[in-house]
Each structure stands twice: as structure tokens, then as C-alpha cells.
Homo-oligomer: A and B are copies of this chain.
Amino acid sequence: MTNLEKMGQNAVNAKYRLQLLTTEEKNKALELAANKLLEKKADIIRENELDIQAGKEKGMHPGLLDRLKLNEDRILAMAEGILQIVKLPDPVGEVMERFQRPNGLDIEKRRVPLGVIGIIYESRPNVTADAFGLCFKAGNAVILKGGSDAIHSNIAIANALREGLQEAGITADALQLIEDTDREVTKAFMGLKEYVDVLIPRGSAGLIRTVTENSTIPVIETGTGNCHIYVDESADLAMAAAILKNAKTQRIGVCNACESLVVHKNVAERFLPMAKEALTESRVEIRGDEETLSILPDCSKATEEDFGTEYLDYILSCKIVDNVEEAIAHINKYNTKHSEAIITENKENAEKFLQTVDAACVYVNASTRYTDGFEFGFGAEIGISTQMLHARGPMGLKELTSYKYAIRGTGQVRP
């Protein structure tokens, strides 16, 4: 049995124990784990310093160094994140449906934890605490595999959380962190199907592709967002400009940011200068099709590749269309099924857009930036699913559960 298989077995043992915990027991453990983070903050900051040092030596970008950096405030925020999860309702045990069959069988559909969740993530060490908190509250054991850049920080955080679990009298194996940052280990992790029920990659499009291509464990794809805003003929153009500005520039580099603008030809001449104006402050580069260039001559030309790109940067592609149908076809061709918006005063077009655009979240007259577990009122999220199976859009606690059928009979046999 390899080390990894042993971790898998530990996680399976832990999952059976977690399933029996009451909500109170889980909340108590989360509180102790959060306290332990604060108690160990000096250790965590010291270990984080090693990661920062290594990052500087590697010439890591200042922005990334900042994301990696931990200080007292950030550790406090991590602990508070866990305490917020304590306040959320426990989804486990909910009776989702219950029905009787004519033969007297009583069938109850009951919400249960997924079991063992594997999470592969990059960059920010706070994911270690966040992901643990959510998975644990939903009754799951987790095996975490963080990025090598944050390995010392991640180990320190995981150890603190595990100590908290132990203090609560709960097996520390509810949270395990893979400390070996070798790529071969990551690959072996993706093959741990016997022990791990679900694998969730969190990070770049490249990471997510690698996981979906190599994992034999069922995967929930998260994150990539090539999101569009379509400005319809009947749009309130001032509203459209405000929403575009918000969706494109309020926070760059997030998956629900707008990457592409689609405009009805009949309003393009009026709207494009307004769009340009709205994006000037943030110096957004617009890459447009021929029609866009004829209105905004100093734009650069968009290539086919541009329309398929999630820039995560101050760049926006732009396409002019003849009608809402062409807008929908364009979006369905290039999008990543994340979040799409139409700005329109025409109800029929709004409903057509809602029905036909293939995305987890489809908006009428609102910013795509609202695709977020907190904004949806879920209290937290583990990521945004962009696949069709299991869960779509923001994934909160409920989406970290499955169900089973509990069936009570009185001796029924099948005729």
C-alpha cells in the first residue's frame, strides 16, 4: 500500500465516522479548528515566510506574492470564514422526498455526504481552511493537494486544523494534506478512485483540463468563465454601460468577469462609444470585429481565438450581431457555460435568452459578477461548476452532498 493509498484508506475510515456526527458535534469541531488557527498564528506566519522567501527567489510576480502572503489579519479572516460556516444550516439528513408504493414499501430520499472529497488547488493558502470547513460541515472527509508555492503555509494550516479536530475528539483524518509536491504524486492522486468519491480542481484552466483528462475519479469542473454581455436593440444603454463597466472592471481576474461584449447592430453606433467611455478609466483594450472597427477605428481586430479567450485581464472582445438569435448562437459557440447576460427592455428577447443560452447562470439586466455563493445567499461556496452533472453554478454546502434511498418494508418480495 503506497502512502497515498494509506491516506485514501484513512479518509474512508474517517468518512464513516463523520456520517454519524450530529450538527452540534460538527460545529463544535469547526470552532475548535478555527481557534487553533488563531492559537498557531505565529507558527503559520513563520512557515508562510519560507514560502514567500522561496517565491521571491524564484522571481514570483508581486501580485502572486501578495496572494501568497499571510499576516494576522488574513489568518483572522480564515478563522472567521470557518466560524461563518458554523452558522450555516447542516444539509445532511434532510428528507428530500418520501413516498409510499402500492406494495407498502416506504421510500425516503435522504441527503447524505458525498464521502471523500479530493481538492486540487493552486496559489492562495486560505483555500486550505475554506475547503476543509465547507467539506467538513457537509459531513465529508477531505484530501487536499495544494500548490508547491504554498506548501509550508498549507502544512502549517492543515496541522493547526487537525489539532483542532483532535481536541474535539474527532479523527484528524477528516482533513489530510498531501505534503509531497511531486507531479507524479498528483497524478497518482487522480487515480485514487477506490477511496475518493469526487475530485474538485480549483485554479487555472490548465489545471482543470489536466484533472479532467487524467482523473478516473468523478470530477466537478469549476471556474473557467468566458462570460458575455449582450446589449440588445431595446437596451437601456446607460444601464448597459454601467453593467459592462462593473462586469469587466470591478474585479479583474475572476471567473465571473465579462470577457466579451456582443452588441445589436441597430444600437452599436450609439452604444460602442459609451462602452469605450465606461472602460476608459481602467484602460481596457477592445478587440472588435470588422463592424466594431468601423465605429471605433482605433480598436484592434479580434481574431477567432479572441472570442474563445478568457482574458482575466484588461482586454475585451467585441462582436456586432444582427439580432438576438445571432447573439445567442455566438455565445453558445464560444462560452464556457459559466455566466451570460442580456441587457434588454424586450421581454420576449429576455425570455428567449434565458431559455436558450447554455450557461449555469443567465442574467437579464444585471452584472455577471453576481455568480457567487455569497451573492446567491448560500453563505459560502467551494467553486462555480461549469458542467452539467450534479451541480451547476455556485456550489455551497448542499452541492457537497449526495443522497441515498432508505426503504422500509414488511417482508416485500418481488413477484
Contact = CB atoms under 8 A, between A and B. Distances in A.
Interface of A: 16, 19-20, 99, 101, 105, 107, 114-115, 193, 197-198, 212-213, 216, 218-220, 236, 239, 242-243, 245-247, 250, 332, 350, 354-356, 358-367, 369-370, 375-377, 387-390, 392-393, 402-414
A388 B114 contact: yes
Contact of A389 (B363, B365, B402, B408): B402
B19 A407 contact: no
Given A242-B411, A412-B367, A413-B246, A356 B392 contact: no
B365 A411 contact: yes
Contacts of A389: 114, 197-198, 218, 220, 389-390, 402
Given A389-B220, A413-B243, A361 B404 contact: yes
A369 B413 contact: yes
Contacts of A370: 105, 407, 409, 412, 414
B367 A405 contact: no
Given A218-B389, A245-B413, A364-B409, 20 more contacts: A101-B376, A105-B370, A107-B376, A115-B388, A213-B216, A239-B411, A242-B411, A359-B404, A360-B405, A362-B405, A362-B406, A362-B407, A363-B409, A365-B410, A365-B412, A370-B412, A375-B414, A389-B390, A392-B403, A393-B405
24 contacts: A16-B332, A16-B358, A19-B356, A20-B355, A101-B375, A101-B376, A115-B388, A243-B413, A247-B413, A359-B404, A361-B404, A362-B404, A363-B409, A364-B406, A365-B411, A366-B408, A366-B409, A367-B412, A369-B414, A370-B412, A370-B414, A375-B414, A389-B402, A392-B403
Contacts of A388: 114-115, 197-198, 218, 402
A253 to B, nearest CB: 15
Contact of A364 (B115, B377, B407): B407
Contacts of A101: 375-377
Contacts of A197: 387-389
B236 A406 contact: no
B212 A414 contact: no
Contacts of A250: 413-414
Contacts of A236: 411
Nearest to A351: B406
Contacts of A213: 216
Nearest to A333: B12
B409 A358 contact: no
Contacts of A99: 377
A406 B107 contact: no
Smallest CB-CB A-B distances: 7 pairs = A366-B409, A246-B413, A369-B414, A390-B390, A239-B411, A354-B406, A388-B402
A216 B366 CA distance: 34
B413 A242 contact: yes
Contacts of A412: 365-367, 370
A354 B107 CA distance: 12
Contact of A19 (B107, B355, B366): B355
Contacts of A19: 355-356
A138 to B, nearest CB: 12
Contacts of A198: 388-389
A292 B39 CA distance: 55
Of A243, A358, A414, chain B has the most CB atoms within 10 Å of the CB of: A414
A220 B363 CA distance: 30
Nearest to A247: B413
B367 A414 contact: yes
Given A20-B355, A101-B375, A411 B243 contact: yes
A392 B111 CA distance: 11
A114 B105 CA distance: 31
B115 A361 contact: no
Nearest to A197: B388
